[in-house]
Amino acid sequence: MNEVARKINILIVVDKFVFHGATINGPSRYYSWMLENIDKNIFYVTVVSLRGDTGADHLFRKSGHTVIYMNSHKFNFMAFLKVTRIIRRLKIDLLHLSGYAACTLGRIAAGITGTAVIVHEHWADPNLPFYITLIESVLAYKTDHAIAISEVAKQTLVEGKKIPENKVSIIRNGIPLDRFGKTTSAQASEFRTEIGVTDDVMLIGVVGMLEQNKGHKYVIEAMEKVVAQFPQAKLLIIGEGEERLRLTKQIKALGLTKNIQLLGIRDDVAIIDRALNIFIVASFRETASLAALEAMASGCALITTDCGGPTEFIRNDENGLIVPIKDSPAMADAIVKLLGDPELRQRLTRSAKMESEQFDMVNVTKKIEALYKTVCLDKIPDLKVIEGS
């Protein structure tokens, strides 16, 4: 009997949209951008968060996708039952899983329902606990394919999570280039006016959660030396998190309250990036860094620590500067170097902007769509997919 052409039913399952109740995490933004571009004539996508409603679902609903909340605070049997029921009720063809709990629970559910599985690794951890490695080695057999966003993420999948290398594809992060890099100098000037600085003030920015791994402490320490040479320079810290009080105290203790501003969560990061002269990634470990890609597309000169993923697309003295992690003097020297050399700043900015064009979310989504089709057709040989737009 000939199958009637139909859409492919996808269920994206994530652990949560928000970290520590503070800010929408990178993977959530990534999936929301992906779903803005996915071909709705071919794919019907439902999104599940294992946690409760955090107010982030507007990211998905604005592109017409259903969001379901499990209201589960940890992996448990009830959450497993709920996901299994959703798979059966919606006749899901493929599970797209992100996060430890989602990948664990989802693959067990897929084992019961016979559903195809793609695991998407957004984090790299070279030191996984033994019990996680053991669980992952058992669940690896139920992984039809895995996506790594960088080489270091692939290493985690292959070495730490025991997924065969031939089942792992590197599909790097994407950003909406129609949003980042398209803001105007007038918008940047308006932002500068809002925070009380003129267009001639040199702005340095860090975007991300306020947590120890992001290395804000070392950028703040570096600003002592920077301000000694460039008294008008300002550091803007965008984001929220558990380190806010500690960082506030550090800024006051160093006498830098006039030169450093904590701006909290902002929804105009594209405009802020356009207003910056220098963007910094100060993390101890990063798998890729969406924030760095956004800054590159927006026209910022970039400094990153040697923290893993970002150094796969940022090359020292070619499209950015790379410094050691937890090294305030080296960070200060890099900032001073860029502030004092406009030609170098412009050269790195041009190269970074050109590099960012490889990370257009439209093209990344097409790669994901192709993988969806391949995995589904391998799992369901008689599947006849409706033609897209």
Give yes or no: residues 116 and 253 share one domain: no
Give yes or no: residues 190 and 70 share one domain: no
Beta strands in the chain (DSSP E): 8-14, 18-19, 23-24, 43-49, 66-69, 94-98, 116-121, 145-148, 168-170, 203-207, 234-238, 260-264, 278-281, 301-305, 321-323
Give yes or no: residues 299 and 214 share one domain: yes
Give yes or no: residues 206 and 230 share one domain: yes
Q: How far apart are CA 32 and CA 49, in angstroms?
A: 13
Say which CATH number the domain at 75 has.
Answer: 3.40.50.2000
| Domain of 325, in residue numbers | 185-358
The answer to the question of residue 110 being in a domain is yes
Give yes or no: residues 140 and 280 share one domain: no
pLDDT at 57: 66
Give yes or no: residues 303 and 366 share one domain: no
Give yes or no: residues 167 and 268 share one domain: no
The answer to the question of residue 317 being in a domain is yes
- Nearest Cα to Cα of residue 115 among 142, 89, 135, 140: 142
Dig out the tokens for 9 from the structure: 């039913």
pLDDT at 21: 47
Give yes or no: residues 25 and 128 share one domain: yes
Give yes or no: residues 327 and 337 share one domain: yes
Give yes or no: residues 158 and 271 share one domain: no
Q: How far apart are CA 14 and CA 80, in angstroms?
A: 13
Q: How far apart are CA 99 and CA 130, in angstroms?
A: 18
Give, for all 389 residues of the chain, the pLDDT tens digit: 466 888 999 999 998 776 554 456 677 788 889 999 999 999 999 999 888 766 666 677 777 888 888 887 666 788 889 999 999 999 999 999 998 889 999 999 999 999 999 999 988 877 888 888 898 999 999 999 999 999 999 999 999 999 999 999 999 999 999 888 788 999 999 999 999 999 999 999 999 989 999 999 999 999 999 999 999 999 999 999 899 999 999 999 999 999 999 999 888 999 999 999 999 999 999 998 999 999 999 999 999 999 999 999 999 999 999 999 999 999 999 999 999 999 999 999 999 999 999 999 999 999 999 999 999 999 988 888 887 66
Its pTM stands at 0.90
Give yes or no: residues 257 and 121 share one domain: no
- List CB contacts of 230: < 8 A, sequence separation 6 or more: 202, 336, 339, 340
Give yes or no: residues 224 and 238 share one domain: yes
pLDDT at 276: 97
Q: How far apart are CA 185 and CA 275, in angstroms?
A: 8
* Domains: count for the chain: 2
